[in-house]
Chain A
Amino acid sequence: MSVVLRNAQRSVPVRRAPLRRAVCALRAALGASRFDVGLVCAGNALMQRLNGAYRQRPEPTDVLSFPFHQVAAGELPRPRCRGEYNLGDIFLGVEYIHQQCRDAGEDFEGVLVVTAAHGLCHLLGYRHDTKPAWEQMYQKEAQILEELNRLTGSRLRPLTAGLF
């Protein structure tokens, strides 16, 4: 099924083809290739608006995930019809991420992929609001990024390392 990619901002150049390849590989590593995913590259204004509307934090952020299904961490959705083969939407705050990478001297495209992996895990019920939940999510992120690293030769690590 599809990864629907949209670049809705002009602040940061985004290479669509490699990002799509990475997200498709991560989705496959999660065992969710038959599910659609929406991916929107957003600027600070859009992220701030969404963050304010849905999390009551009106400020830019790096990623927001909107799952289609409510599932427990580690479970795949059980669609009842064709239209439910949908994991949900991920909004990547590319402008925010780009600024963070500039400040930290990190590779923007690599961090973008790691952030997308984080967002995908959220779509499948993983959370990091408690230490046990974070550990579970961290392990899954590490696993799927390792699979991607094996395919692409990259050396990507999970986003939330050191959160707890």
Chain B
Amino acid sequence: MLLARSLRAVSALRPPLPAPLRRLWAAPPRALPPAPSAAPGPARSLWQLGGGAGRTALLRPRRGSAGRVSCGCGGLHTEGDKAFAQFLTDEIKEEKKIQKHKSLPKVSGGWELEVHGTEARLVRKIAGEKITVTFNINNSIPPSAEDDTQEGQKPDEQEPELTSTPNFVVEVIKDDTKQTLVLDCHYPEDEIGHEGEEESDIFTIREVSFQPTGESDWKDTNYTLNTDSLDWALYDHLMDFLADRGVDNTFADELIELSTALEHQEYIKFLEDLKSFVKCQ
């Protein structure tokens, strides 16, 4: 289990942080606009009168404001923010230390990877067909994996690694058709990484639908096949269909590696952004 994530869970048990100290400014830094029918209010006047020097005077922190950070960046700073920023510094350091992949792992089989933030797309062309696999790493870590802290577990005992198992959508486009076959695939819940439960399919097809090629909007009026009550033989044909196009158990396993690496990368980036946002600029 990632140390920093554990710390995040444990933080709920910590005593609450001291309440933020009083605001740095006596007057609000930005005045509300006056009502249309009223004469120009004092706030606007203050801005006009203040000019550069006046504005600086307003923003200058009061003397005696012990515990507050003195700066002129225009943000609220509290001791809590300072502690938070320091906490994030430590978190980021720990996360980077245990980062398994510094760069995203490749998926075998000639797939090209495109990443746009939290969304990744794998593309493969084979004999007149284009196969696209899309997934998003947001909310891709099963809750049981993230929250599963055993009672009485010692802090130094190794916890299972967090694994990202996103739903993924396979699109198969044939060159000579205007329809894309779309298959929504899921990983079984609570079964990844648990010893003794590796007796099921590595991934499953949940829904199948045809969608117009090239259109971004989902067409609700197109029939969507749900596999929950599907004939098993038909389901196996669909799985073999995907396997022939490179979406098989090996692919599904490698996609987990890729997704987990991407999720961790984005998590670290988020922590860094959060630290920048919180700390004094």
Contact = CB atoms under 8 A, between A and B. Distances in A.
B201 interface: yes
Interface in B251-271: 252-253
Q: How large is the interface on B (under 10, 10 to 19, 20 to 34, 35 or more residues)?
A: 10 to 19
B248 A8 contact: no
A7 to B, nearest CB: 6
A48 interface: no
* Secondary structure class of chain B's binding surface, majority of residues: helix
Contacts of A8: 198-202
A15 B248 CA distance: 11
Nearest to A40: B199
Contact of A10 (B199, B232, B233, B253): B253
Contacts of B200: 6, 8
B250 interface: yes
B236 to A, nearest CB: 4
A13 B248 contact: yes
Most buried by A among B199, B240, B253: B199
Contact of A16 (B202, B239, B253): B239
Given A10-B248, A10-B250, A20 B236 contact: yes
Given A7-B249, A13-B243, A20 B201 contact: no
Nearest to A21: B233
B232 A7 contact: no
Interface string A39-75: 0101001100100000000000000000000000000
B14 interface: no
A139 interface: no
A5 interface: yes
A76 interface: no
A4 B240 contact: no
A10 B232 CA distance: 20
A21 B236 CA distance: 10
A29 interface: no
Interface in B191-243: 196, 198-202, 232-233, 236-237, 239-240, 243
A160 interface: no
Contacts of A46: 198-199
A2 B232 contact: yes
A16 B240 contact: yes
Contacts of A91: 199
Contacts of B202: 7-8, 10
Interface of B: 196, 198-202, 232-233, 236-237, 239-240, 243, 248-250, 252-253
Given A2-B232, A20-B232, 11 more contacts: A7-B201, A7-B239, A8-B199, A10-B248, A10-B253, A13-B243, A16-B237, A16-B240, A17-B233, A46-B199, A91-B199
